[in-house]
Structure 1
């Protein structure tokens, strides 16, 4: 009996010494599972990725965007990936909603093109006038500026008129003729505005006050463009502002001289 007990205990000790193999096998199994999971996570489904890519391309290339009538980022029509053909997304949206939005998009595009064309014309107009003023040494009499409302051409009253009068002086006609030739190709409104200083009208003048004088001077320039040069009267407007819009201080002689002027503004606007 004693011998059997010692053998049994010895056998049990041998089994305990081999249990590390079970732990090692479990560790190897866990490592294998870990690498399989990592591989599956890092593996990209090519087909799903392609579908996502095509969907994003269709969205960004579409003519129809959140802005009504706007173009996609690439400015090209979206592609139909199912058959390889090219399809206009704006047409698809119009068919689905029962409304064709393509006409609205075309109108917006045409207006943008018209605006860019006008900006190019105004820039060219300003360049030509500046060259003319410099070539003819008219810097003290004619000032050209690009203002928010349009290209402003300011002519001194001494260049255009005698004191207190609204009849155009002969030396100014060549400059006005040059301007009229440029206005023929401009598809916008030309505003002619008369201005004076704040001194009252002298008795020798035929005009009652500065309002009448400024308006009469603007009208004289307008009449020259329309009656003498035959420009389209629908493209012109005129106004007399008297001394209400000075550009300099009326308390000095130099300031009053700057305020006595006729300003021709080629307006920055599109015709309907």
Structure 2
């Protein structure tokens, strides 16, 4: 599995997303993924499955140092003391002494970005999180974290797939050695039935979903964490790492409309802000 080196950690470029796998339903999913060779597992306090993820990892027999585990704090817990309590609860549920990556899941309108990121940096300095980062920040927020607050974030996790451009953000992150983790990389299932992606897939004897993942992974600095509950889907996603798209394929995907955002809750930030 290829990996990205960023801020002192090595992150496998394909991970398993566990959104909408609440409670015990996540345990057999994570167990099968680990048995297939996945070593990057993404969870969050809001997913309500950290305990199941931790149990699956503990029973896998895989040494903790061989795994990369991400969790996140919800947007109503971003005050420093609340964040620390949320993080401690996550560690307890995961049955771990540390996580590899700890992220702000969503920003909130009233958050003190400096105070939140400083509290996260303290967790990193004390070894409880090997790296820290954010999710769903717009460009002004990212610029403030990197240029003003100067906290060394390793990752920005955002929605990214063939129907949504993240070109300005990706360019900014690349220039600063920060990885972009793509969630909803299959556009919440839409990629599977896309006729253009299916046509490219036939050319390579793979599925449209594998083409979408391959498109992400051929880009410098990009990680993908598709959700896959079935072992067949997990296997298919792993196989996408071996798909080599050519210039003709990339041109076809580049011609897609790139303004389709499918994850936009009421508390999301202003995506159009660019200053």
TM class, shorter-length: under 0.3
Per chain length, whose mean CA-contact separation is higher, i.e. which structure has more relative contact order (CA < 8 Å, sep 6+)? Answer: 2
| TM-score, L = length of structure 1 | 0.23
Higher helix proportion: 1
